[in-house]
Amino acid sequence: MTTIAVDDDVRDELLRISAELQIKLGRKVNYNDVLRFLIESRAKRPELLDRAVIKGADREGLARELREERMKDEEKLERLLRS
């Protein structure tokens, strides 16, 4: 097992996601489960990360697209939590 350091705001967000996953899954989850969920969610759109590191990329456009995709992910999670 490895220890990682995160800022308080990141820890708070991980805790929020953890609570949502616990409700959805009906079982206790740990930070490893949360991080795995986030990694798998990101894996669905890897081209966004690839484009973000390309020199000369449209940063504002990429940031906007990432925000839009994040909103879609949050909406999907909300729907899952309600079902």
User: pLDDT, tens digit, for every residue of 37-83?
Assistant: 888 877 667 666 666 566 666 777 777 887 888 888 888 888 877 76
How far is CA 62 from each of CA 11, 13, 53, 57, 69, rounded to the nearest angstrom? 25, 22, 10, 8, 10
Mean pLDDT of 22-35: 89
Determine phi and psi for 26, rounding to 5 degrees: 70, 25
- Residue 51 CB burial class (10 angstroms; 0-12, 13-18, ≥19): middle
What pLDDT, on the 0 to 100 scale, is given for residue 30? 92
Model pLDDT, residue 28: 93
